[in-house]
Amino acid sequence: MAVLARRLATQFQLLEAPAILKPAVPPQVVESEALRNLRATLEASIASKLTSGSELVRAVARQRRDEILPTTIPPLDALLGGGLARGKMTEIAGRGTRFSIVIATLAAATSIGEAAALIDASDSFDPQLAEAAGVDLRRLLWVRPHTMKETVTAAEMTGATGFQLVIIDMGSRRPPGRRVPDAAWVRLARVAESHGATILVSAPYALTGTTSEAMILAYAPRPRWLGRGNAPRVLAGVETKLKLEKHRRLRPGQTTTVFFQCEEAVGSTQASVMTIPTADTRQPTARAKAS
């Protein structure tokens, strides 16, 4: 067995390939007796790379949960320390361009083959625009609840089913029906934790309280028009300011500005997503980086 393992040592190099698994899967503390005996007979360099199938599966699951899902909007990703944390709930609140962020996040998740669910409480999703923004509609489950309670229930069910990304969009006003109790958000956060789902809540005001991993405040946006004076005008896009209101691993208070352009004005502006740095933009602290 030991000889066979030595011969196969080169096979374990696959685990070091960045495309498959990175970082290399560390051995589990709890190991079976047979595996422990086998490791004891091997050289230390080979034994450290020996992994059983069950350990590998657990490590892959753990690694998936430690990952982040980038929103592919660089200023926002920088604000969130790379993107939305998997297995956590993130909230975007305010009057800013929340729905554009939602669409971009859907495009990011579905374009890499992940299944996403959009709980569209305001029934305002436009499939034409989403497809133009890069959303793979085949991987998107569109749920249109009527009330607040149905919204949270649908999010909980889809999260528990195994959707990697679940987005709740409340629209620009609260859905009809009574407010859901705070315990519902706690339950939703637990669903995200236990199933490794990324949950993004987009609402005009803060809903999730202390249960969310991070909260972004989107300030009122400013539209930008092309053309001046008596010349015909074309809506170029909308600029909005985002502020990291709360984060469990990063220092809050950082701000950034993002610009979303109109589909008709694509090509008229210099960059697809224009970043306008502000004076109070700060880098993550050393403590945050370490964590």
Q: Which parts of 33-72 interact with other proteins (CB under 8 A)?
A: 57, 60, 64, 70-72
Q: Which of residues 210-269 bind other proteins (CB under 8 A)?
A: 220-221, 223, 225, 230, 232-235, 237-238, 258-263, 266
Using CB under 8 A, pick the residue from 62, 144, 187, 249 that binds other proteins.
144
Query: What is the smallest separation between the CB atom of 52 and other proteins, expressed in angstroms?
Result: 14
Q: Which of residues 93-122 bind other proteins (CB under 8 A)?
A: 95-100, 102-104, 107-109, 111-115, 122
Using CB under 8 A, pick the residue from 43, 123, 182, 280 that binds other proteins.
123
Tokens of 84: 């939305």
Tokens of 192: 């995200």
Q: Which of residues 163-192 bind other proteins (CB under 8 A)?
A: 163-164, 171-174
Using CB under 8 A, pick the residue from 130, 189, 215, 250 that binds other proteins.
130
Query: What is the smallest separation between the CB atom of 147 and other proteins, expressed in angstroms?
Result: 10
Using CB under 8 A, pick the residue from 161, 190, 252, 281 that binds other proteins.
161
* Beta strand segments in the chain, E: 68-69, 84-85, 89-94, 116-120, 140-143, 165-169, 198-203, 214-218, 222-226, 234-247, 255-261, 274-275
| CA–CA distances in Å: residue 221 to residues 90, 110, 240 | 21, 27, 4
Helix then strand then coil, % of the chain, to nearest 5: 40, 20, 40
**What is the sign, positive or negative, of the torsion defined by CA atoms of 256, 262, 266, 269?**
negative
**Residues 197, 207: Cα–Cα separation, whole Å:** 19
Query: What is the smallest separation between the CB atom of 44 and other proteins, expressed in angstroms?
Result: 27
Taking the least distance from each CB to other proteins, the nearer of 79 and 130 is 130
How far from the centroid of its chain's Cα atoms is residue 188's Cα? 15
Using CB under 8 A, pick the residue from 39, 139, 241, 246 that binds other proteins.
139
